[in-house]
Amino acid sequence: MRNIGIWLIRIALLLLLAGLFFGHLASESYRITEPKSGVMGFLSLRPLHVSSAYLGIITAGLGFLTLIIQKKRTSRFGTFLQYLHFTLWIIALTGIFYSYFTGDFGGREYWEFNPVWALPIFISFIVFLVFYIHQIGFKVKWPVYYWMWLTGLVFFIFTFIENYLWISPYFREHFIADMTIQWKVNGSLVGAINQIIYGVAFYLMEKISGDEKSSYQKLSFAMYFLGIFNLMFNWGHHIYLLPTEKFIHYIAYAVSMTEWIILIRIFYKWSKQIKENKQFYYFFPYRFLMAADYWVTINLSLALFMSIPAINLFTHGTHITVAHAMGTTIGINTMIIIAAAFYFIKPTFNNSKWKQFGTITFWVVQGTLFFFLSSLIGMGIHRALWQAGLANESFNKMSSSSGNWVLLFIIFGTILFLSMGTFIVYLFVKSWKKNKFDFPY
């Protein structure tokens, strides 16, 4: 097992596939009226779905990082750290799934497993941080994506400690403060993971376009700092409704609005973007990066409106939030992961039939994702109107009357599961072919 990076990628692909599968099973709970028991019950399926997807994204991020940095320096210590990290990670994953399958819960939303398994995750991240710094060192001037990766690792570690502050009764005794911290964590953890994944995207773009200058430009750094500024201070937009300190809400509102800069910049560069899209369209890694770019535009627009408290008041607690979350994890994170997997695994497309099939499947994924998110927004609007008091009926009535949206949600979710699953399985199979990892650097 000399190439730990590719092993992490394989595990990540399996986790993402599991995430899709459990998500598919969980979605069916919306149509039933009787509870299911055991692992097939929603209260097990939702954690299985969310954790598989979340951990898959994290594992993929670490896997690509490993692939990129493992050859930079070979030393006994580096190899030791790599194996140590990998072992801890496997222990954590095994423990988490064991916990879920045996119904041993007790954690918080998205981290429902027995909190013991947080320990190997935490240590493994510290080991990885040491490995990262050991491999790249401080001798050369860092491109912006090195900074993004460092930020991701450091903030993950810091936030992960916060994620378990609830173990102390001091926090649990004060519900509002506890919830404030919980959502500080949820916001920042996603931000930290995004730094890692976006860093991978930046790296890929540099390699594909051959333009190394932009990785050192001041403007790239300005954008990176805008990103971490938001990671640190915008999470309050999740809790506008929570009666915590007003100050936190105002900071979140103001900071969230700085993201308009990103949106404006996207539109400013639009024509250049289209030109680039045409130039590299036939290259699979690029194609998925391109998709991620468009999903960024859509999700960011949605996020900007939802970050305005007066609008958030109505969208909060509805499936519009879910649409945003799924839009980011599937549309942005997973697209980047598939792009990077194509880039590193380098399937040769021995027959052109697959290439054609891949192109069709690619568009099926994008189209389905669009309709899938739309159906969630439909469900969300339905619930939002009810919450606003415009439909005077019980929760029970309200949820059964959104049956058509639910049906669409399940149908598109199933197609998404199958079409994205096709790419994931394909990449997984191809990852076993020999001599794939002679990188050009």
Partner 1 sequence: MLNLFAHPKHIFFVLFVCFIAFSVWIYTIPLFSPSQYSEKELHLVAEGRLVWQKYNCHTCHQLYGLGGYLGPDLTNVYSRSGNNEHYIRGIVKSGVKQMPAFEISEDEMKVLLLFLKNVDQSGTSNPQDYQPEILGTFSLEKK
**Interface with ligand HEC (CB under 6 A):** 42-43, 395-396, 399
Q: How far is the CB of 399 from ligand HEC (least distance, A)?
A: 6
Strand partners, 111: 108
Minimum gap (Å) between residue 374 Cβ and ligand HEC? 24
Helix (H, G, I), strand (E, B) or coil at 101: helix
Question: Among the candidate windows 4-12, 275-283, 307-315, 330-338, which touches partner 1 by CB under 8 A?
Answer: 307-315
20 with 420: CB under 8 angstroms? yes
User: Footprint of partner 1 on residues 371-410 (CB under 8 A)?
Assistant: 383, 387-389, 395-396
Q: Which does 30 bind (CB under 5 to 8 A by kind): ligand HEC, partner 1, none?
A: partner 1
Give DSSP secondary structure letters for 121-159: HHHHHHHHHHHHHHHH-SSSPPPHHHHHHHHHHHHHHHH
Please, which residue, 351 or 396, has the CB nearer to ligand HEC? 396
The amino acid at residue 218 is: K
For partner 1, the binding residues in 195-224 under the rule CB under 8 A are: 218-219, 221-222, 224
Q: Shortest gap between Cβ of 272 and partner 1 (angstroms)?
A: 19
The DSSP annotation for 171-225 comes to HHTSHHHHHHHHHHHHHHHHHHHHHHHHHHHHHHHHHHH---GGGT-HHHHHHHH
**Residue 78 binding partner per list partner 1, ligand HEC, none, with a CB distance cut-off of 5 to 8 Å that depends on partner kind:** none
Q: Of 24, 85, 249, 287, which one interacts with partner 1 (CB under 8 A)?
A: 249
Which one of the spans 7-15, 73-81, 180-188, 326-334 is the region binding partner 1 (CB under 8 A)?
180-188
- Residue 140 touches partner 1, criterion: CB under 8 A: no
How many other β-carbons are positioned within 10 Å of the β-carbon of residue 227?
18
How is residue 429 written in tokens?
């199979």
Size of the site for partner 1 (CB under 8 A): 82
Question: Whole-number minimum distance, CB 425 to ligand HEC, in Å?
Answer: 30
Separation of alpha carbons 198 and 332, rounded Å: 9
| Min dist. Cβ of residue 177 to partner 1 (A) | 4
Quickly count: other Cβ atoms within 10 Å of residue 228's Cβ: 18
